[in-house]
Structure formats: C-alpha cells, structure tokens
Amino acid sequence: MVTRTILLLSVFGFGSLFAQDSRLQTRLPADVANQVQRLVDSAAQHGLPTEPLVQKALEGQSKGADGGRIVAAVRTLSGQLGEASTTLGPGAPEADVVAGAACLKAGATPEMITELRRLRPEQSLAVPLGVLSDLVALGVDVPKAWEQVHSLAASHGPDTEFLALRDRVSSPNSKPPPGPVQPKLVPSANPPP
C-alpha cells in the first residue's frame, strides 16, 4: 500500500494530490498563481487552513499588488498559520487558527493563545483572539490589551462582551458618555417624618 502511494506520488507529482484553485489561475499571472498554489499545497499537507492563503492572494490582486508582494504576503501568512496551529494544538477549528495567526502578527505571544485555550477549552477563540488583535491595532499596547482580554476570558464572558470591549475602545464617542451617578432612590426618597 505504501509502495503504491509512493509510486503514485512519483508518477503524478506531489502537487497533483491537491486541486488547482481556479481562482488563482484566473486572477493571477501564471507564475504568481503557481507559486501561491505551491504554498497552498504545502499548507494543506501540514493540515493548515488554505482558504485564507487563497484569499490573501486574491486580496493582493484586487489591491494592485505586484506578484512578489503577493507571494511574500501568502508565505508570511502561511508561517503565521503554522505557528498558530502548533500553539492551539491538533484539531483546532480553522477560525481559531486564522484568528491566532492574526494575533501573533499583531504581537501577541504563543503563551497568550495557550492561556486563552486553557480558559475556554470548549469555546471558539476566534472572537477573543480577534478582539486582542483589534485592540493592538487600535493602539493599545499588547500587555494592556492582553490584561483586558484575559480578564474577560477568566470571568467566562461570552463573545458579546469581548466585542463590547473592542467597541468601547474603538469608538468611545459612539455611545453617550456616562453622566453623574444618582444614589439609590428607594430608601432615600421616602423618609418617614
């Protein structure tokens, strides 16, 4: 069986195990498409999500980037996906791996991702990791952003709370600012004579 597999690989070439992505072939110059395809195939071999790589190449094409820049961007993302996948462990959902890659790119450490995994063993990490990346993108330094995200994760906050945290930082003026706090009405307003 092993012999047959090796024989097939040698006859058809390694790349033929993976389908050529027609989007790459139709939207990118042939040489760029081929280089990206090889990176995509390699990622697939390692069990990494491949769609983000294809999307990164298509994004570059739509934004008018040259071939070298597109291939470099895809290669960088592939490396980040690999690191995130290793950190999250086998069987991690694709969305978590993608969000983890973005987080590492933003400056988070693998230990942070591991800690989030520990705090939310059964839940997706996509939103907490995405919010961590966003906070950093918004100018919050990594330790402070991590402190906020970690605090929410430790209190088992749902995804909506992470999004609320991001919204507070990203658009502080989108909600009315708090006004003066009033004392509790019940006991103070009805005094016996």
Residues that bind other proteins (CB under 8 A): 23, 52, 55-56, 58-65, 69, 72-73, 76-77, 95, 98-99, 102, 126-127, 130, 133-134, 137-138, 147-148, 151-152, 155-161, 163-193
Comparing CB distances to other proteins, the nearer of 46 and 168 is: 168
Question: In sequence order, what E strands does 40-122 have?
Answer: none
Residue 189 Cβ vs other proteins, minimum distance, rounded to whole Å? 3
Comparing CB distances to other proteins, the nearer of 13 and 139 is: 139
Neighbouring residues of 30: CB distance < 8 A, sequence distance ≥ 6:
none
Comparing CB distances to other proteins, the nearer of 10 and 62 is: 62
State how far the Cα of 117 lies from the Cα of 100, in Å rounded to an integer: 11
State how far the Cα of 99 lies from the Cα of 94, in Å rounded to an integer: 9
Comparing CB distances to other proteins, the nearer of 143 and 192 is: 192
Residue 159 Cβ vs other proteins, minimum distance, rounded to whole Å? 8
Q: Which two tokens stand for residue 121?
A: 């063993």
At residue 89, the 3 state secondary structure works out as coil
Residue 64 Cβ vs other proteins, minimum distance, rounded to whole Å? 8
Return the ∠ at Cα 171 (arms to 141 and 113), rounded to 5°: 40
